[in-house]
Amino acid sequence: MTSIGIIGSGFGAIAVVHELREAGHDDIRLWERADDIGGVWRDNSYPGAGCDVPSPLYCFSWAPNTHWSRRYALRDEILTYLHRVAAAEGVTDRVQLGREVVAAAWDDDTSSWTVTFADDSTQTVDVLVTAVGQLSRPQLPPVPGIEDFGGDWFHSAEWDHDVDLHGRRVACVGVGASAVQYVPHVTEQASQVTLFQRSANYLLPKPDGPFARWYRPLVTAERPLWWSLGERFSLGLESGTRTARVEQAVALRHLERQVSDPALRQALTPDYPIGCKRILFSNDFYPAVDQPHVSLVTDRVARVVEDGLVTQDGTHHPADVVVYGTGFETQDFLASIEITGRGGRKLATQWSDGAHAHLGVHAPGFPNLLISYGPNTNLGGGSIIYMLEAQARHMRDVLDRMRTGGYDAVEVTPEAEAQWDREVQHELESSAWAHCDSWYRHPSGRITSNWPGATHPYAKRVRDLEPADFAWT
């Protein structure tokens, strides 16, 4: 029986285990570097953490959740769901916790991957699946002095719950998807809050609210509606469309309604077309910023000193606590694992100008390596779980074909991968993401994170397995 090793234990990994077990695979093991499963939902415990994708859509199609308590679920509820599904799918039984994979090397003679862990031990599997997400490595800004700060400081993805913010001066660096969720909570506790914003965001109102108990079993009926709205929303991420204009008008009206001070409103108005950076959803961020004890600083942070931050104009901003909501290292896909393929080639070298993979899943030169949530499969709208499911089904199809054909190895051809990459990059040229810098783009300019357009065409492409695109050995 084919042995399969999966790196990670978040939603991507669970989707893969579900599909492969349905197909009759049983020799599956998972390696998780942390001491619990859960991926980003385990790591991100900041106050207010939740999902801005409606909960009826933010679950597996094959495991509908009739327990959601509200339309936009908070982190604890999502994590409870994830744990429940993981147990039911046999993930919990198969996962090896505290096992950080640092390297993986392909052996042509045995058609297998040898995986090396942080403690130098190794394991060998026939097929290696990476499911480490795109947002697993917190990023601090490259400003000097971070370590010299005399007060408390942490990244939003490593929230230090032992630090009491009550009555303290809190500096929040970065105003993105996470910050709009925790800033309202921080402003409730802190005596003074300074927000350091490099770029403003478009914020849309969130049609949130609790679900009545009697309604919860019916919540799944909302799924098709939210899915089609998500598809439409994603199409608005193509530049200049009518949907984009409507989204922009709604966002600017939301700002106007919630922020009375014209100067603050101006500072919170983005200077790029909508969709270029991730569109955010919040009903309480603007009111939180529009308070006397909160100030918004748009000058860049130049350095951190013992008792605060200094901006480029020389102003010193005193602080007792600094929270860095500065996102994740997104461009070095899989860089924390040294992956060596056929003939000693390194994945990091192959991707030095930005990651690219056929269907986001297969890299030429790396047989039997399947990537979940790989390059160009992230979304600007809709649910990533839909994409993870589509990839998992595709992986199942690939392994089915290997089994029925008696093949030991499968590898995408360089031609098929290059053709896919050309098509995706061509589509991306007319996307909103081409008009500004964001975590979706590699420094080379390539948009490496996102899939262009709606999710349905992607699911269709990965469903129609094209055997000629691969070498079957």
Residues that bind ligand NAP (CB under 6 A): 51-53, 135, 141-142, 156, 173-179, 198-199, 277-278, 325-328, 439
Nearest-approach distance from CB 438 to ligand NAP, in angstroms: 6
Residue whose CB is less far from ligand NAP, 51 or 204: 51
State the sign of the Cα–Cα–Cα–Cα dihedral 401, 403, 404, 405: positive
Smallest distance, ligand NAP to C-beta of residue 379, A: 8
User: Is 78 or 395 the residue whose CB approaches ligand NAP more closely?
Assistant: 78
Nearer to ligand NAP, 325 or 365 (CB): 325
Q: Which two tokens mark 287? A: 């009111």
Q: Cβ closer to ligand NAP: 257 or 300?
A: 300
Of 274 and 402, nearer to ligand NAP (C-beta) is 274
In the complex, least distance from residue 414 CB atom to ligand NAP, rounded to whole angstroms = 31
| Least CB distance to ligand NAP at residue 327 (A) | 3
Answer yes or no: are the C-beta atoms of 140 and 310 closer than 8 Å.
Answer: no
Select from 459, 301, 336 the least CA-distant residue to 388.
Answer: 459
- Of 5 and 38, nearer to ligand NAP (C-beta) is 38
Shortest Å distance, C-beta 397 to ligand NAP: 28
Q: Which is nearer to ligand NAP, 368 or 376 (CB)?
A: 376
CB of 406 to ligand NAP, least distance (A): 41
Which is nearer to ligand NAP, 277 or 442 (by Cβ)?
Answer: 277
What minimum distance in Å lies between the beta carbon of 237 and ligand NAP? Answer: 13
- HEC string of the chain equals CCCEEEECCCHHHHHHHHHHHHCCCCCEEEECCCCCCCCHHHHCCCCCCECCCCCCCCCCCCCCCCCCCECCCEHHHHHHHHHHHHHHCCHHHHEECCCCEEEEEEECCCCEEEEEECCCCEEEECEEEECCCCCCCECCCCCCCHHHCCCEEEEHHHCCCCCCCCCCEEEEECCCCCHHHHHHHHHHHCCEEEEECCCCCCEECCCCCECCHHHHHHHHHHHHHHHHHHHHHHHCCECCCHHHHHHHHHHHHHHHHHCCCHHHHHHCCCCCCCCCCCCEECCCHHHHHCCCCEEEECCCEEEEECCEEEECCCCEEECCEEEECCCECCCCCCCCCEEECHHHCEHHHHCCCCCCCECCCECCCCCCEEECCCCCCECCCCCHHHHHHHHHHHHHHHHHHHHHHCCCCEEECHHHHHHHHHHHHHHHHCEHHHHCCCCCECCCCCECCECCCCHHHHHHHHHCCCHHHEEEC
Minimum CB separation from ligand NAP for residue 107, in Å? 36
Smallest separation, CB 146 to ligand NAP (Å): 11
Least Å distance between CB 63 and ligand NAP? 19
Q: What is the Cα–Cα distance from 353 to 332, expressed in whole angstroms?
A: 10
Cβ closest to ligand NAP, residue 58 vs residue 420? 58
Q: Kindly tell me which of 193 and 409 has the beta carbon lying closer to ligand NAP.
A: 193
Q: Which residue has the tokens 């709205």?
A: 229
